[in-house]
Chains A and B, each alone.
Chain A
Amino acid sequence: MGTKRLTRSGPVAYAVLVVVLLASVFPLYYSFLIASKDNSALGDAVPSLVPGGNLFDNLTRVFDTVDFWLAMQNSLVVAGTVAISNVVLGTLAGFAFARLRFRGGNALFLVVVGTSMVPTQLGVIPLYMLMSDLDWYGTLQAVIVPALIGAFSVFWMRQACEESVPYELVEAARVDGCSVLKTFWHVAFPAVRPQAAVMGMFTFMTAWNDFFWPLIVLDPNDSPTVQVALSTLASGYYTDYSLMLSGASLAVLPVVAIFILLARQIVGGIMQGAVKG
Chain B
Amino acid sequence: MSWRDKLGRLDTKYTPYLVIAPFFVVFGIFGLYPLLYTAWVSLHDWQLIDGDQGFTGLANYTALLSDGNFWNALGNTVSLFLLSTVPQLFAALGLATLLDRGLRGRAFWRAGVLLPNVISVAAVALVFAQLFGRDFGIVNALLGFVGIDPVDWRAETWASHLAISSMVMWRWTGYNALIYLAAMQSVPKDMYESAMLDGASRRRVFWSITVPSIRPTILFTVIVSTIGGMQLFVEPQLFDPGGTATGTGGDDRQFQTLVMYLYEKGFRLFDAGYSSAIAWVLFLVILVVAVVNFAVARRIASKG
**Which of A's residues lie within 8 Å of B, judged by CB?**
1-3, 5-9, 13-14, 16-17, 20-21, 23-25, 27-28, 30-31, 34, 42-47, 89, 92-93, 95-97, 100, 102, 105, 108, 111-112, 115, 117-130, 145-146, 148-151, 154, 174, 177, 179-181, 184, 205, 208-209, 211-212, 216, 226-227, 230-231, 234-239, 241, 244-245, 247-249, 251-252, 255-256, 258-259, 263-264, 266-267, 270-272, 274-277
Contact = CB atoms under 8 A, between A and B. Distances in A.
A267 B108 CA distance: 10
Given A9-B101, A119-B227, 6 more contacts: A47-B141, A100-B16, A119-B35, A130-B33, A267-B107, A275-B216
Contacts of B115: 24-25, 28, 256, 259
Interface residues of B, number: 108
B288 interface: no
Contact of A2 (B95, B196, B231): B196
Nearest to A85: B22
A97 B24 CA distance: 14
Contacts of A100: 12, 15-16
Nearest to B101: A9
Given A108-B20, A145-B26, A277 B122 contact: no
B276 interface: yes
B16 A266 contact: no
B253 interface: no
A89 B109 CA distance: 34
Nearest to B221: A275
Interface in B228-244: 231, 233-234, 238, 241-242, 244
Given A92-B19, A211-B234, A248-B126, A146 B30 contact: yes
Contacts of B113: 20-21, 24
B275 interface: yes
Contacts of A245: 126-127, 130
B78 interface: no
A30 B138 contact: yes
Which of B138, B193, B205, B283 counts the most chain A CB atoms within 10 A? B138
Contacts of A179: 8, 11, 15
Interface string B1-31: 0001000100111011101101110110111
Contacts of A128: 48, 266-267
A118 B32 contact: yes
Nearest to A102: B16
Nearest to B137: A47
Contact of B266 (A2, A30, A125): A125
A263 B217 CA distance: 23
Contacts of B4: 177
Contacts of A149: 22-23, 26
Contact of B241 (A27, A96, A212, A239): A239
B123 A235 contact: no
Contacts of B276: 125-126
A21 B109 contact: yes
Contacts of A47: 136, 138, 141
Contacts of A93: 19-20, 22-23
A46 B143 CA distance: 11
A249 B120 CA distance: 10
Contacts of B178: 267, 270-271, 274
Contacts of B98: 9, 13, 16-17
Given A115-B27, A234-B242, A248-B127, A126 B33 contact: yes
B175 to A, nearest CB: 7
B119 A255 contact: yes
30 contacts: A3-B193, A6-B202, A6-B205, A9-B103, A13-B101, A17-B99, A17-B109, A27-B116, A45-B141, A46-B141, A47-B138, A93-B19, A93-B22, A100-B16, A102-B13, A102-B17, A115-B32, A123-B33, A124-B34, A126-B37, A130-B29, A230-B123, A244-B241, A248-B127, A251-B120, A256-B115, A266-B111, A274-B179, A274-B183, A277-B183
B126 A31 contact: yes
Given A21-B109, A151-B27, A230-B123, A42 B136 contact: yes
Contact of A205 (B24, B30, B118, B266): B118
Contacts of A5: 196, 202
Most buried by A among B20, B124, B193, B217: B20
Nearest to B265: A125
Contacts of B124: 27
